[in-house]
Structure 1
């Protein structure tokens, strides 16, 4: 609960509580102390002993902790119970209601100077803001949570640090997101701070940015470490998130059955834990797996299920991202008009600062649809916008394919030199898969 307040603050508190109860200094002092002692205590001229404070607390009818700290009895316990309620509300997909609960908790934690509970409330507000796509607000909450825990060991700060990295990742700042996650991993492993939950959270979180940057070897290594750490982790939701992230590396290796099995494990855990938004993300990933395997009807079914669940929880950014992948499946099934309508409906929710990779994916697909309709001018415009988004984000994983599409279009319209430039740019990304500006890989965990 923290240290007791200074003697002046305690003195004023004793006086206030005594007056509220209509007691005289003599009544408060008897039988163990004198009225003069109570007078000097209330004036802040004496530092009361624990025995004196326990006597006074008993006479005033308050708890000892409340008297010496000003915090109501069981406040910290009550706040933690309410934090659990807020976490469950968020898990059920009610981000708006959860944000209200976290906001109330934050106000109380700040009023009573409870740093640990304040950090937990800020972390929750950050997660709510990520769910609703308010990335600037999310970043601010995570940053404040990290500042609250500045004196705590690194494992305690990891959830806030990871949250900050996620906001950079979703904003299209892939390199900086990876830098934050790798720096924390390096510090944990080199410093001997081998907290399984903290390490698993970081390894699971870095897989997505690695994959988007084309750093497939690092993504595979992170997945390998995550799988090895999972049996030692204490949080089942964290293990489920790991399985969902690892599925991406399995897909990249062509191991579709293994990826589907990994997602099935994650989905089962999410159902047990009643984590609705995370379960929707599993439907999303399974839809992607089926699409990669050419099972388009099953892919459409899974992606529609994910979109419905995320739309119901008002997870705006994630809904827009799923819509882009659903549009791709619809296009491949010959439903190009519906796909284009879906894409145009979500482009306003995506930008270079908000879902950059999926924004590029939407422009790429609109370009393909326009090309199919012989509208080469519109197609080129979409390809160029997609290229700009991916270059800014550093998403090398998709750049080579996009350069090929743009080069083919330019060649067909007679602009051979421009086409060659596009092909050369694409080859630059294709010839060095996994090369990034990331520098040395972080230290390995002792598995």
Structure 2
């Protein structure tokens, strides 16, 4: 233990005196046979900073651990708190976010009372993950920011989970560019500083895939997936590896590698089952539904998405449930059940907004526009398309925006508004130019794998 990690001499002195009196020892009895009563008196008054050897001697005579005498914290307390933090993590992984919040809140209070920075940061991180689970994005972001401040003096790899959590909160809120900025700058800082931590880098590259895909930066998403796959064998964290396989499936699918995407998801699902991570397993069903839908296997897609929705709804993961519902509605529409799809979409739009699931809110409006257009309700279709465009422009989701401009342009052309249609097409073409390069700077450096 370094000197900086100890309490100040006055605090240590008061602690030594209190423990000595409690045990009925004189200063002479405490000092013998190595030190003098005068030294103990000076130490108890806080006028001398004790050496490690002196503290070990005193701790032995007082019957306490060295750490407890130096910091006021018992090793047993720290161990118990860490075990309970693991328990709270399991509660959250099982989808019981409300119960996990109670556990983490109690642990946070205890960690703060005992001045345990690392355990305090872990509790804040857990509360941030709970907030993401329940869709409270602003609250989640605040918890992650507090965790970062708590770890301000720690090495960068220790701060990465909090940084990644904050980036995810911004991503889910529709702030794609800022999420990418946070992830990329942290990756570059790690690589430049020679801080080659496989788990930290894997967490960051995996986290970047979703925002890259939504921004239309497909080449960069594929590159992040390639780096993540190369890092995976070095990671000792099976949950991280499972999350990586789930994210990489998106890039494989975008490249038309459907069988490989499905295999990647199968690996993730197997790991999640072994780890008893039910919420993450629900996300695997969600992703497999997406894969099947993209491959035209609509019946299998509906089955997977309904299973994901049932698992997520049962655990009150409201934001994720809303997002799955939008994708299920798309499958139902493609299966000829447009009325059912529209009912589902109208039911979830209240839970989505520009600050909360913007990309999926836009997808809901886009699909409602298509359904309205099929029913020859032209004005309503245009209204939905315009609202979707506004959401996507704000989020910077270039890939989806280009497709939506085409839909709106086609609608305007069919209704005789040629100039307006040309404007929509031009806007779409602008977003298709060099996907990802118009809003992002240079790609992060490759990790030394």
Output the CA distance in 2 between the equivalents of 1:191 and 1:4. Answer: 28
- Name the counterpart of 1:95: 97
- Name the counterpart of 1:193: 195
- Name the counterpart of 2:384: 382
1:79–1:423 CA distance, 2 compared to 1 (3 A): same
- Name the counterpart of 1:219: 221
The match for 2:165 among 163, 176, 179 is 163
Output the CA distance in 2 between the equivalents of 1:230 and 1:34. Answer: 57
Does 1:268 find its partner at 2:252? no
Conserved in 2, the CA contact under 8 Å of 1:25 and 1:39? no
1:302–1:153 CA distance, 2 compared to 1 (3 A): same
TM-score (norm 2): 0.93
Secondary structure at the counterpart of residue 416 of structure 2: coil
Consecutive unaligned residues of structure 1, counting only runs of 5 or more, are: none
Does 1:283 find its partner at 2:285? yes
| Residue 441 of structure 1: how far off its partner (Å) | 1.1
Output the CA distance in 2 between the equivalents of 1:221 and 1:346. Answer: 34
| Residue 277 of structure 1: how far off its partner (Å) | 1.0
Consecutive unaligned residues of structure 2, counting only runs of 5 or more, are: none
- Name the counterpart of 1:154: 156
Output the CA distance in 2 between the equivalents of 1:51 and 1:229. Answer: 43
Q: Give the aligned CA root-mean-square deviation in angstroms.
A: 2.2
Output the CA distance in 1 between the equivalents of 2:245 and 2:363. Answer: 24
Output the CA distance in 2 between the equivalents of 1:186 and 1:62. Answer: 45
Cα deviations across residues 346-397 of structure 1 (Å, max 9, x unaligned)? Answer: 1111111111100100111111112222222221111100000001111011
Cα deviations across residues 140-193 of structure 1 (Å, max 9, x unaligned)? Answer: 111122222222222222111111111111111111111111112222223322
Does 1:119 find its partner at 2:106? no
The match for 2:340 among 332, 338, 341 is 338
TM-score (norm 1): 0.93
| Residue 12 of structure 1: how far off its partner (Å) | 2.5
Output the CA distance in 1 between the equivalents of 2:385 and 2:311. Answer: 31
- Name the counterpart of 1:396: 398
Q: How many residues were matched structurally?
A: 446
- Name the counterpart of 1:406: 408
- Name the counterpart of 1:135: 137
Output the CA distance in 1 between the equivalents of 2:180 and 2:362. Answer: 20
| Residue 40 of structure 1: how far off its partner (Å) | 5.1
| Residue 86 of structure 1: how far off its partner (Å) | 1.2
Output the CA distance in 1 between the equivalents of 2:75 and 2:156. Answer: 30
Cα deviations across residues 203-237 of structure 1 (Å, max 9, x unaligned)? Answer: 11111111111111111111111111111211111
The match for 1:236 among 238, 251, 258 is 238
